[in-house]
Amino acid sequence: MLVVTDLAKTYPTGDRALRGVSFSVEGHDAVFIIGSSGAGKSTLLRCLNRLIEPDRGSVRLDGQEITTLTGPALRQARRRMAMIFQEFNLVERLTVMENVLSGRLGSVSLWQAWRRRFPAEDVEAAYRTLARVGLEGFENKRADALSGGQRQRVGIARALVQRPRMLLVDEPTSSLDPRTSEAVMRLIVELAAEDGIPALVNIHDVPLARLFARRVLGMRAGEIVYDGGPSGLTAEALERIYGAAPAAAEPVP
């Protein structure tokens, strides 16, 4: 269970990316965060696992305060909040198996990591997870030899192999075509449900959010302005999140 209270972040440039965000996620539902670019969605996810340091506020995962952790304790907390990225962020020159096993880096020694000698149960888990994401037999391919959809599947496998307590998913489909987007989104939601963990998903694509979400958070200018089911996303609610629709005379970009 994740409880976020009054989380705020102002960048050195003066951009107030988060202005006191509070929400909680219980059970194992997928929560979709929508909002325009620059609304603070990516900053929010990265403040949860402290890839970005929040200025104030509290993040509690299963009762543990994350914002005050340091060193190994912080790294363990990161392992429990696995992240999936917009640009997949696979290590291009490594094999698929190395990319998946890198999800275990928080739990093995540097020497084991260097020699690629991961514990047998980690290797077994990696094979199993590759099968779950539909990439059986891909373990020895290099990550840069895969298609976009396949890469994101490796990214999902890397996240699941961390045995996380929740998934932080940052625009997972923005670099994919519409059909692949839907397949990848479905895979994330289904696998998270199978593992009984919640997923916090940033997304641009409102129809995709409607399709998969049980709950939607709408962000605008660093604040949560909508919190409810997808059916509540009326024209009025969308205007609150995205601002007024462009006038008819203006060409839509």
Partner 1 sequence: MSTLARTWRRPSIWPRPWLGPVAWLAFAAFLAWNVVSLEMNPERVARGLSRLGTVAAGAFPPDFSRGGLLLSGIVESIEMATLSTLFGVLLGIPVAVLAARNVVPGALYAGGRGVITLGRTFHELIVAILFVKAVGFGPLAGVLTLTLNSVGFFGKLLAEQIETIDRGQIEAIRSTGAGRGAVLLYAVLPQVLPRVIGLTIYQWDIHLRQSTIIGIVGAGGIGATLYNAFSRYDYDFVLAILLVIVGIVLVGEAVSALARRWVQ
Q: Looking at 12, 114, 231, 235, which residue binds partner 1 (CB under 8 A)?
A: 114
Residue number, 19 or 142, with CB nearest to partner 1: 142
**DSSP assignment of 83-137:** EE-TT----TTSBHHHHHHGGGTTTS-HHHHHTT---HHHHHHHHHHHHHTT-TT
Mapped onto helix, strand or coil, the DSSP state of residue 60 is strand
Instruction: Give the one residue of 24, 36, 68, 76 binding partner 1; rule: CB under 8 A.
Output: 76
- Residue given tokens 């489909």 in the structure block: 173
Q: Is residue 205 packed enough to be buried (19+ CB in 10 Å), middle (13-18) or exposed (0-12)?
A: middle
Q: Which of 98, 126, 171, 173 binds partner 1 (CB under 8 A)?
A: 98
* Residue from the set 30, 40, 44, 104 that interacts with partner 1 by CB under 8 A: 104
Q: In the 8-state DSSP scheme, what is residue 98? A: H
d(CA 135, CA 92): 17
Closest separation in Å from C-beta 25 to partner 1: 18
Classify burial at 2, counting beta carbons within 10 Å of its beta carbon; exposed 0-12, middle 13-18, buried 19 or more. buried
Which of the residues 138 through 167 are near partner 1 (CB under 8 A)? 155, 158, 162
Q: Report in angstroms how near the CB of residue 103 gets to partner 1 at its nearest.
A: 5
Query: Among 9, 33, 44, 85, which residue sits at the site for partner 1 (rule: CB under 8 A)?
Result: 85
Work out how close the CB of 182 gets to partner 1 at its nearest, in angstroms, rounded to a whole number: 23
Q: Given the rule CB under 8 A, which residues bind partner 1?
A: 49, 51, 72, 75-83, 85, 87, 89-94, 98, 102-107, 110, 113-114, 155, 158, 162, 168
